[in-house]
A and B are shown apart, each in its own frame.
Chain A
Amino acid sequence: MSTTRVREKAYTIAVTTADILDVKIFTAKGKIQGFVLSYRARIDQEWHEAYRIDTCHGYLHEQKFWRSPDPIPLKQYAGYPTQAVYEASLDNIRQNWKRYKRYLEKKVSKKKEKKDGHNKRER
């Protein structure tokens, strides 16, 4: 019984000095079998992952890190070829990155305010 070798590609795409796409593509026989697309933003000199969409664990799901790391299944793409889902996922990030970044900035800012407030009280 022959087993198909799955190859992995790992790319970091610096779109700006504050916006990066981390991409993993799993391929076999020249075709995409699975992928991980992750958008991260640099806020206050630190990189924070904002959004991820991937096919790991056998199903397509997204994670909106400004809310929680819990995976949200994307059932509307079930049955579509992985290549098409990959391209649609890229388009999704292209269309929504600004919004994801805004939400993440709010979260980071709230976290920082909470931490600063806690530090003041300790003094």
Chain B
Amino acid sequence: MGITKEKDEAWDAAISFLKKVGKDPDRYPDKLAVFVLADEELYKVFTKERFRILRVLKEMQFQSITLLSDFLERDKGAVDRDLKVLEGYGLIKRVKEGNRVSPSLNKEGVYFPLTGAEPSTKLKVAVR
């Protein structure tokens, strides 16, 4: 029941955010990855190594996954798996060029909404 409620809240937060974007689109960036995940789920997605990949791709271009893995000093298979996860969340894209796959960032930034659904559905806590 707890998990269902969390999922409902996540969906409400996602839809609420998208409606805000629709009402005033020029206020928001053009390419964004938005995460309304629960904390435990966020930690599963954003591991230290995946963050490192994002930061490195922000600064440098790599013409292949092998070159990226060499730079990170990590196993190519492990880097490829991380890239696949990041690609699933829209954060990177992998472009095939001949027999090479070149990874690059696909979004301007990552957004974690700190507000959920509309205020009327939230509990109000009195502050003294």
Contact = CB atoms under 8 A, between A and B. Distances in A.
**A and B: real partners?**
yes
A52 to B, nearest CB: 15
A10 B31 contact: yes
Contacts of A31: 25
Interface residues of A, number: 30
A22 B32 CA distance: 10
A79 interface: no
A89 B9 CA distance: 18
A42 B33 contact: no
Nearest to B35: A14
Interface string A6-17: 011111111111
B3 to A, nearest CB: 9
Nearest to A46: B88
Contacts of B21: 9, 11, 25
Interface stretch (B10-18, B50-58, B95-103): B10-18
Interface of A: 7-17, 20-23, 25, 27, 30-32, 42, 47, 83, 86-87, 90-91, 93-94, 97
Q: Which 7 A-B pairs have the closest CB atoms?
A: A12-B90, A27-B25, A13-B34, A14-B35, A17-B41, A12-B33, A13-B14
